[in-house]
Chains A and B, each alone.
Chain A
Amino acid sequence: MITPILARQEGWNRQPEIVPDGEGELLEVAMGPHHPSTHGVFRMDVTLDGERIIKLKPVFGYLHRNHEQLGETMSYLAIMPYTDRLDYFSSLSNNWGYALAVEKLAGIQVPERAEYLRVILAELTRIQNHASSVGFLIQDMGASGTPLMYAFKEREKILDLFESLTGSRMMCNYMRFGGCRVDTTAEWLNQARKVVAGIPAFADEFEALLTTNEILMARTQGTGILRPDLAVNAGITGPLLRASGVNYDIRKVDRYGIYDRFDFKVPLGEHGDVYDRFMLRLLELRQSVRILEQALKDIPEGPIMDPKSKIRGFRPKPGEAYGRIEAPKGELGFYVISDGTGNPYRYRVRPPSFVNLTILEDMCLGQNVADVVLILGSIDIVLGEVDR
């Protein structure tokens, strides 16, 4: 429930500072950029009073690869492979987000079969992303290896599907403005059906392994609570927002692509703690399976590219467009300004992980230092997207 904003006082959207108890000295620790639990090269400057966190300042930029600046120097099509490397766990979602923005900019329609293929690939991406992110979260808790091995076992099956369709395991570079790059075969679809049929069993096994684990419950329940009003104001999206109980899923709100044809639910959390986020990812994974089953059943025959869309020498009219999708980590938006030439004048990525980190300090204040890696793991960041 979101309380009306008018009734708020100044500074309500910031966690109050914590006053040290005055016993002993404060300790400043730099966690990262080389740290096994920061999911890449990320740094947090933490001030500790004993075990308690008084202050936490995230430091970014260790993987700042100038994605946006490079985008301004190259053609619209040439940016597509770079979007793979934003959130390198879910390259196909990134492809879709960028394709959607450019299609809005140039007014291109996508054929139905391509829409179905996009949904199938994006939901497969969501499944492997959520499975691995839960695996990494448990790994950060200290369960070294085992849950991650389970997750990666399933991930490899999905990556095999990606590889046989697009030619690459991780950097798929599959979508184009107005459709997809290559058509799929009936064998591929059958193989996909087989993989999807196996996912519920994997989810059951994974849940049996984890959800009622006593250590996991003790460490994650009540840790890193995020209030829904604060989450909305800080622009949090994705599983992190829904775990706090705010019903906002762009697949339902914008109904981009053909998501209005599928019957699926948006799971919501109640407490907004780390455990809720962990459970929410597992529930979303099951909803993705539902979407996949429907999409794989209904996929029609037909072309996969809009015959009118131009791949080479693509020059949209001057103007701008903002397109967004529900990536596995939250709202992934692309903002493109065209000046009529072959390169975008401005190319901006709205990365979900980066904006979700706004709230990291607020969630960590007053918690123990050992919980920081848990809270960070529950946000599910990928540094390629945070720093771009």
Chain B
Amino acid sequence: MAVDENLKIEMGKQGVFVTTLQELYNWGRRSSVWPMNFGLACCAIEMIATTMARYDLARFGAEVFRPSPRQADLMIISGTVTKKMAPQVVRLYNQMGEPRYVIAMGACAISGGPFKQGYNVLKGIDRYIPVDVHIPGCPPRPEALLDAFITLQKKIDAQSLTGENRPRHLNPEGQGEFPVPEQGEHDLEPPSNTLVWPAPMVIR
């Protein structure tokens, strides 16, 4: 359904702007990604630094940090998710309206990072919710977060509105609610959501 690029340029010279509904729709969405005002740990400070004058996240249309998950499109998991916090993170994710995206910022959010061996540390938030962009680093520099934003914008741009690969919010059968783990006597129950994250097998 893409418009021929040459035709687009030619028509543009004539003063006619040609686009598709999909491009327009994705352009609107990617230019106003509102992140949730949600800081977990050290990486949150770098996230704040990214919004400040020097790195200026506003250039990407994402400066409006919303404290309420209902108004946010993007959740930046900025720091270590502990087992005490994990149910709340999943609940907040469930409360966000579609379309919604997740950036796992920093080593802790990806895998537990340096605190991986701790008894109260969740070994990666993707055990419970799907993650769109991972940024390594401890903490990632503000430039890395900007790069993650651009990657996310590219991802949004590439989404097609119809067909098999259409995003979750356009698919009536798409999963909306993700089960919230319970805090058990020794550990979280279940320890991971196997639909989102099948436990990896190591082949020796």
Direct contact of A and B (CB under 8 A): yes
Cβ of B39 under 8 Å from chain A: yes
B115 engages A70 (CB within 8 Å):
yes
B118 engages A66 (CB within 8 Å):
yes
A152 engages B48 (CB within 8 Å):
yes
Cβ of B46 under 8 Å from chain A: yes
Q: Do A89 and B45 form a contact, CB below 8 Å, given A40-B40, A65-B80?
A: yes
B120 engages A65 (CB within 8 Å):
yes
Cβ of A36 under 8 Å from chain B: yes
Contacts of B26 in A (CB 8 A): none
Contacts of A33 in B (CB 8 A): 85, 88
Q: How far is the CA of A41 from the CA of B80 in the complex (A)?
A: 11
Q: How far is the CA of A88 from the CA of B141 in the complex (A)?
A: 14
B residues 32-62 touching A (CB-CB < 8 Å): 37-42, 44-46, 48-49, 52-54
Interface segment out of the listed A11-19, A56-64, A316-324: A56-64
The chain A residue sitting closest to B55, CB to CB, is A156
A residues 146-203 touching B (CB-CB < 8 Å): 148-149, 152-153, 155-156, 169-171
Cβ of A75 under 8 Å from chain B: no
A40 engages B49 (CB within 8 Å):
no
Q: Do A63 and B85 form a contact, CB below 8 Å, given A34-B92, A171-B42?
A: yes
B residues 104-140 touching A (CB-CB < 8 Å): 114-115, 117-121, 138-139
Report the minimal beta-carbon distance from A73 to chain B, rounded to whole angstroms.
7
Contacts of A387 in B (CB 8 A): 82
The chain A residue sitting closest to B139, CB to CB, is A170
A66 engages B49 (CB within 8 Å):
no
Report the minimal beta-carbon distance from A25 to chain B, rounded to whole angstroms.
25
Report the minimal beta-carbon distance from A347 to chain B, rounded to whole angstroms.
14
A170 engages B42 (CB within 8 Å):
yes
Q: How far is the CA of A34 from the CA of B54 in the complex (A)?
A: 27
Q: How far is the CA of A80 from the CA of B41 in the complex (A)?
A: 18
Cβ of B67 under 8 Å from chain A: yes
Contacts of A383 in B (CB 8 A): 41
Contact with B along A56-99 (1 / 0, CB 8 A): 00000111111101100100000001100100110000000000
A82 engages B117 (CB within 8 Å):
no
The chain B residue sitting closest to A82, CB to CB, is B114
Contacts of B92 in A (CB 8 A): 34
Cβ of B84 under 8 Å from chain A: yes
Contacts of A67 in B (CB 8 A): 115
B53 engages A85 (CB within 8 Å):
no
Q: How far is the CA of A384 from the CA of B44 in the complex (A)?
A: 11
Chain B contact residue count (CB 8 A cutoff): 33
The chain A residue sitting closest to B38, CB to CB, is A34
B121 engages A65 (CB within 8 Å):
yes
Residue from A70, A89, A155 in contact with B117 in the complex, judged by beta carbons closer than 8 Å: A70
Contact with B along A351-388 (1 / 0, CB 8 A): 00000000000000000000000000000000110010
B114 engages A41 (CB within 8 Å):
no
Contacts of A152 in B (CB 8 A): 48-49, 52-54
Contact with B along A130-157 (1 / 0, CB 8 A): 0000000000000000001100110110
A61 engages B84 (CB within 8 Å):
yes
Residue from A34, A155, A170, A384 in contact with B88 in the complex, judged by beta carbons closer than 8 Å: A34
Q: Do A62 and B84 form a contact, CB below 8 Å, given A34-B92, A36-B67, A153-B52?
A: yes
Contacts of B118 in A (CB 8 A): 65-66, 69-70
Q: How far is the CA of A178 from the CA of B82 in the complex (A)?
A: 35
B85 engages A148 (CB within 8 Å):
no
B48 engages A88 (CB within 8 Å):
no
Contacts of B82 in A (CB 8 A): 61-65, 387
Q: How far is the CA of A303 from the CA of B74 in the complex (A)?
A: 50
Report the minimal beta-carbon distance from B74 to chain A, rounded to whole angstroms.
15
Contacts of A64 in B (CB 8 A): 82, 84, 120
Contacts of A66 in B (CB 8 A): 115, 117-121
Q: How far is the CA of A81 from the CA of B113 in the complex (A)?
A: 13
Contacts of B52 in A (CB 8 A): 148-149, 152-153, 156
Q: Do A384 and B38 form a contact, CB below 8 Å, given A33-B88, A66-B115, A170-B46?
A: no
Contacts of B114 in A (CB 8 A): 81-82, 85
B49 engages A156 (CB within 8 Å):
yes
Report the minimal beta-carbon distance from A18 to chain B, rounded to whole angstroms.
29
A170 engages B45 (CB within 8 Å):
yes
A65 engages B85 (CB within 8 Å):
no
Q: Which residues of A does B touch, CB under 8 Å?
A: 33-36, 40-41, 61-67, 69-70, 73, 81-82, 85, 88-89, 148-149, 152-153, 155-156, 169-171, 383-384, 387
Sorted nearest first, the 4 A-B pairs with minimum C-beta distance are: A66-B118, A88-B42, A36-B67, A152-B52
Taking A34-B92, A41-B88 as known contacts, 14 extra A-B pairs with beta carbons closer than 8 A to each other, sorted by chain A number, are A36-B37, A41-B41, A61-B84, A62-B84, A65-B82, A65-B118, A66-B120, A66-B121, A70-B115, A89-B45, A156-B49, A169-B141, A170-B139, A384-B41
Q: What are some 8 contacts across the A-B interface (CB < 8 A)?
A: A36-B37, A65-B115, A67-B115, A148-B52, A155-B49, A170-B42, A170-B46, A171-B42
